[in-house]
């Protein structure tokens, strides 16, 4: 016997909130609200499932059996309503609304007042005794149908409405009388072929909502919010109730709490004599919900009671839509309210105090990745501004300042006491001084995992990258955005949380760690089992990390200490000496570098007293410490033209650059390979670490727990050889492994993960560098694929999003899991961590918790987010339903 075909249409009375995946968020919630409040408060209707949408899109608009199921559901609705769709004397009118599994506000389409035609509009006018209401409803329907179903640009309708108001000398839509509205319908009908058959109207409206799932704005929204394209949207067909029936009618949106602050008072907007689209479209200025108490006190009291019931039932702050028809309240939908971070933490804390939720449930209501807004300056939400360009939201926060095009200019502007925005096509290691000095970073290339993004997040600087509309011409010293031409010194502002660029002077709002936020973090720490450390390379960053609750430093990139403008000459001197085998010069340079590194390490160790600090030995290829070839060429040309005394030194640098050049430096002479071929460099760093330990141990009651990390290990013998060097130097400095320090490796190559059982024989800990592990596993060059490949792959449903944003669980994640399991087979007490950017991504943190990793490490400003996400991962492991 063949299996029966799945049901594609459900009456509201059949559904429940547990059917969200099938009925979509709106359909499931309307069904649940019908069960809770009763049919007297919730207009009847039915939901066409998201599965029907998927079939429709897969089969070019043909879904077997759908038309019959819709017809049967419509007949049941007509029986409940006592009216018939298309009845010339007493027509049933319905709305057709989208309803995806996850709310996508404004991204999908809606049609209201469906069922009217040239005949039934007269019947509606006669039955209600309200000719204006009937023609206003018909005008709205013909306008919305034309825009949504027939793709007629909305401005054509708005221009006609504006002309009608001007001809009658009125300013509001509500001032147009029935005769004017009748004329507008005729004008609208002239724009397209309007169908008079209500059944045809319904079918075409349903198809239009299905089609809107693949509209450009919906596709982009799903990409930004990581919503799978495969879900589809449900469609809700609901009996119309009318807020535009006169002065005792209206429509509105109501939140169970303040939607901005989370304060426990309902908030929202409403409009008398209006339909819901008027409230959200901005055509008319709505009134504050509090005024409803004066206009219609009995409805206001009833609405407040319903909001309390809904919030207690759902266990979350609610966002509702309502209509008042001639003094009677109807609830059209409810959903968990999207809210800014400050409202989310306020609600979580208040809900626990009120007994509405447990601590675990309250933390589960928070979107961890939105907490960024509580940690950085933001644009004043009340300030209007024009967006001149958009890019990737690469590092959160907002900043404004004058444009500078080089790191040196940023340092100069900062020294003069002014704010700078460093604008570059892309950034490189030698621009780090500019990151320190600049208030924000803006690049025309790159994505969230580009050098600019990584360094900016690590330093807590706002950054917008990948601004395709912007051209940065360093030769001409100008920045072009379309027809706009900007030059150094011009003011610009960026919002790194939203990827926005503006030339307007937008006020900034400073962040504050509220008591509610601190309470949520304390609860999170009690619940989580995953440790949270920070990536920090300076004493200042280490102190910031500790203030944000970091339990140690999971990655201290020792090479970043060389990028200070005063130290660049030191490291360049060493690199040139190494390339020329100049022993005397090499020794002198190593002595100077050890001195500055030891002081830096001591500052970090002191800031993290009593906590672990993982120091990665030198990782990048040596040529990164030399000037770029084109810049060096310009310096040489100048030195030769003036016969500068610097010419011999510049020629030596040029020779070093030639000798160190590589075709693919990312996979070349870097990491442990540097330590093996140039052991003097690693020896200098190890001695600087031991010297710093001795320095701070003499001053601190609690010395730091120092962890030395060897990067880019692929072979067991590489680590063994480095351990011999470390042990020899430890003995000379009277340091004991296991007591004064530990040694581990950075797992960032697939081979290391595959032989983790052998590497674990020699390592005290593993730290998975998921940035490079992603590159080497997928064969992706991070800086190249973020803009050139990832968007196309997402559009073709090959991947859901960038593997540099969230961990590729099936590939890279499996290697992490394998590395942990194999390593602990050899060494059960092996400590494991994550030090790539994935360590601050809530979705990835959930995976790392399941994979058995001991800690994650992320940029200091991501630490609070990681703490909450780690708690949510622990909650999900114990009770997956809590986070569903």
Percent of the chain surpassing pLDDT 70 = 96
Residue 35 has pLDDT above 60, yes or no: yes
In whole angstroms, how far apart are CA 368 and each of 863, 865, 867, 871, 874?
11, 5, 9, 10, 14
For the question of whether the overall pTM of this predicted structure is more than 0.85, the answer is: no
Helix (H) or strand (E) holding 30: helix 20-37
Final residue before a domain boundary, out of 221, 246, 271:
246
Rounded mean pLDDT of 415-439? Answer: 86
Active site residues: 451, 835
DSSP string, 748-790: -SHHHHHTHHHHTTT-SEEEE-HHHHHHHHHT--HHHHHHHTH
Does 762 reside within a domain? no
Helix (H) or strand (E) holding 423: strand 420-424
The pLDDT tens digits of the residues spanning 842-869 come to 999 999 999 999 999 999 989 999 999 9
Q: How many domains does the chain have?
A: 2
The pLDDT value recorded for residue 1 is 46
The pLDDT tens digits of the residues spanning 640-671 come to 887 777 777 788 878 888 888 888 888 999 99
Half-sphere exposure of 883 (CA within 13 A, CB side): 22
Burial 765-774 (b: 16+ CB within 10 A, else e): bbbbbbbbbb
**Which residue is listed with tokens 């390592």?**
763
Q: 403 lies in which domain range?
A: 378-509
Question: Which DSSP state fits 806?
Answer: S
**Which residue is listed with tokens 């169908």?**
195
Q: Where are the beta strands (DSSP E) in 585-657?
A: 612-616
In whole angstroms, how far apart are CA 803 and each of 43, 532, 644?
45, 21, 49
Does 97 reside within a domain? yes
Does 316 reside within a domain? no
Enumerate residues 6+ apart whose C-beta is below 8 A from 807: 770, 774, 813, 816, 838, 841, 843, 844, 847, 848
The pLDDT tens digits of the residues spanning 725-755 come to 999 999 999 999 999 999 999 999 999 999 9
Instruction: Tell me what the pLDDT averaged over the chain comes to.
Output: 91
Residue 566 has pLDDT above 80, yes or no: no
Q: Which two tokens stand for residue 540?
A: 């200042």
Rounded mean pLDDT of 527-543? Answer: 95
The pLDDT value recorded for residue 581 is 65
- Cα dihedral 579/572/712/707 (nearest 10): 130
Question: Which DSSP state fits 259?
Answer: T
Does 434 reside within a domain? yes
Does 218 reside within a domain? yes
Contact yes or no for 867/845 (Cβ under 8 A)? no
Does 799 reside within a domain? no
Contact yes or no for 509/378 (Cβ under 8 A)? yes
- Give the domain CATH number at 233: 3.30.1490.20
The pLDDT tens digits of the residues spanning 666-705 come to 899 999 999 999 999 999 999 999 999 999 998 888 888 9
Name the phi and psi angles at 463, rounded to 5.
-150, 140
Which tops the pLDDT comparison, 432 or 189?
189
Burial 489-507 (b: 16+ CB within 10 A, else e): eeebbbbbbebbbbbeebe
Final residue before a domain boundary, out of 509, 524, 552:
509
Contact yes or no for 611/546 (Cβ under 8 A)? yes
- Give the domain CATH number at 443: 3.50.30.10
Does 28 reside within a domain? yes
Burial 857-868 (b: 16+ CB within 10 A, else e): bbbbbbbbbbbb
Residues found in the chain: 884
Q: Which of 618, 17, 654 is nearest to 310 (CA)?
A: 17
Does 803 reside within a domain? no
Residue 19 has pLDDT above 70, yes or no: yes
Final residue before a domain boundary, out of 487, 509, 531:
509
User: How many whole angstroms separate alpha carbon 55 and alpha carbon 338?
Assistant: 30
The pLDDT tens digits of the residues spanning 71-102 come to 999 999 999 999 999 999 999 999 999 999 98
Enumerate residues 6+ apart whose C-beta is below 8 A from 529: 849, 870, 874
């Amino acid at each position: 016997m063949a299996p029966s075909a799945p049901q594609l249409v459900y009456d509201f009375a059949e559904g429940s909130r547990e059917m969200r995946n099938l009925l979509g968020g709106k359909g499931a919630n309307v069904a649940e609200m019908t069960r809770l409040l009763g049919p007297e408060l919730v207009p009847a209707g039915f939901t066409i499932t998201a599965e029907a949408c998927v079939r429709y899109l897969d089969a070019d608009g043909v879904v077997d059996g759908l038309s019959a199921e819709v017809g049967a559901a419509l007949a049941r609705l007509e029986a409940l309503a006592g009216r018939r769709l298309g009845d010339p004397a007493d027509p049933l009118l319905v709305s057709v609304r989208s309803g995806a599994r996850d709310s996508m506000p404004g991204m999908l389409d809606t049609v209201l007042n469906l069922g009217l035609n040239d005949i039934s509009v007269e019947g509606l006018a006669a039955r209600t005794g309200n000719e204006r209401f009937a023609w206003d409803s018909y005008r709205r329907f013909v306008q919305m149908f034309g825009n949504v179903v027939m793709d007629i640009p909305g401005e054509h309708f708005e221009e006609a409405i504006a002309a009608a108001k001007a001809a009658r000398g009125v300013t509001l839509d509500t001032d147009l009388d029935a005769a004017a509205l009748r004329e507008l319908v005729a004008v609208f009908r002239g724009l397209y072929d309007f169908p008079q058959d209500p059944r045809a109207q319904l079918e075409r409206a349903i198809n239009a909502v299905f089609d809107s799932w693949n509209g450009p704005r919906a596709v982009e929204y799903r990409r930004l919010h990581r919503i799978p394209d495969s879900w589809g949207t449900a469609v809700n067909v609901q009996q119309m109730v009318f807020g535009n029936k006169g002065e005792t009618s209206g429509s509105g949106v109501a939140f169970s709490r303040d939607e901005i602050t989370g304060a426990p008072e309902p908030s929202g907007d409403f409009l008398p004599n209006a339909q819901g689209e008027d409230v959200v479209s901005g055509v008319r200025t709505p009134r504050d919900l509090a005024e409803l108490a004066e206009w219609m006190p009995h409805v206001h009291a009833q609405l407040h009671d319903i909001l309390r019931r809904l919030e207690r039932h759902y266990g979350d702050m609610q966002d509702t839509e309502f209509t008042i028809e001639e003094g009677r309240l109807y609830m059209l939908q409810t959903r968990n309210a999207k809210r800014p971070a400050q409202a989310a933490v306020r609600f979580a804390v208040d809900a626990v105090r009120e007994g509405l939720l447990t601590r675990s449930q309250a933390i589960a209501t928070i979107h961890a990745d939105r907490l960024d807004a509580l940690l950085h300056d933001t644009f004043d939400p009340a300030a209007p501004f024009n967006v001149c360009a958009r890019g990737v939201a690469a590092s959160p926060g907002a900043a404004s300042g004058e444009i500078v095009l080089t790191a040196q200019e940023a340092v100069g502007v900062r020294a003069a006491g002014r704010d700078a925005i460093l604008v570059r096509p892309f950034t490189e290691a030698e621009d780090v001084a500019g990151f320190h000095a600049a208030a924000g970073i803006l690049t025309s290339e790159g994505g969230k995992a580009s050098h600019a993004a990584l360094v900016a997040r690590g330093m807590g600087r706002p950054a917008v990258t990948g601004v395709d509309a912007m051209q940065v011409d360093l030769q001409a010293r100008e920045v072009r955005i379309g027809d706009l031409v900007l030059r150094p010194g011009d003011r610009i502002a960026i919002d790194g949380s939203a990827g926005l660029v503006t030339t307007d002077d937008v006020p900034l709002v400073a962040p504050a760690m509220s008591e509610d936020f601190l309470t949520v973090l304390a609860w999170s720490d009690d619940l989580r089992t995953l440790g949270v450390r920070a990536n920090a390379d300076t004493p200042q960053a280490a102190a910031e990390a500790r203030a944000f609750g970091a339990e140690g430093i999971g990655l201290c990139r020792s090479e970043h200490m060389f990028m200070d403008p005063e130290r660049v000459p030191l490291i360049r001197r060493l690199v040139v000496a190494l390339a020329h085998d100049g022993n005397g010069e090499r020794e002198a340079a190593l002595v100077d570098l050890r001195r500055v590194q030891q002081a830096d390490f001591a500052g970090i160790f002191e800031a993290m007293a009593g906590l672990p600090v993982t120091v990665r030995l030198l990782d990048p290829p040596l040529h990164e410490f030399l000037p770029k070839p084109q810049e060096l060429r310009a310096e040489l040309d100048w030195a030769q033209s003036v016969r500068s005394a610097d010419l011999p030194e510049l020629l030596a640098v040029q020779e070093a650059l030639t000798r160190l050049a590589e075709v693919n430096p990312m996979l070349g002479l870097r990491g442990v390979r540097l330590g093996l071929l140039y052991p003097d460099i690693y020896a200098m760093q190890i001695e600087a670490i031991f010297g710093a330990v001795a320095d701070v141990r003499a001053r601190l009651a609690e010395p730091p727990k120092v962890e030395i990390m060897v990067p880019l290990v692929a072979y067991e013998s590489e680590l063994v050889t480095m351990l011999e060097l470390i042990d020899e130097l430890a003995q000379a400095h009277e340091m004991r492994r296991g007591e004064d320090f530990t040694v581990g490796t950075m797992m960032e190559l697939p081979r290391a993960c595959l032989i983790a059982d052998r590497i674990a024989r020699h390592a005290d800990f593993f730290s998975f560098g998921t940035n490079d592990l992603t590159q080497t596993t997928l064969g992706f060059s991070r800086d190249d694929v973020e803009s050139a490949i990832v968007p196309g792959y997402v559009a073709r449903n090959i991947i859901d999003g960038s593997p540099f944003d969230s961990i590729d669980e099936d590939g890279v994640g499996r290697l992490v899991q394998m590395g942990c399991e194999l390593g602990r087979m050899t060494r059960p007490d092996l400590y494991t961590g994550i030090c790539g950017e994935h360590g601050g991504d809530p979705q990835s943190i959930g995976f790392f918790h399941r994979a058995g990793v001991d800690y994650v490490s992320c940029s200091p400003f991501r630490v609070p987010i990681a703490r909450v996400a780690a708690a949510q991962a622990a909650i999900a492991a114990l009770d997956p339903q809590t986070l569903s």
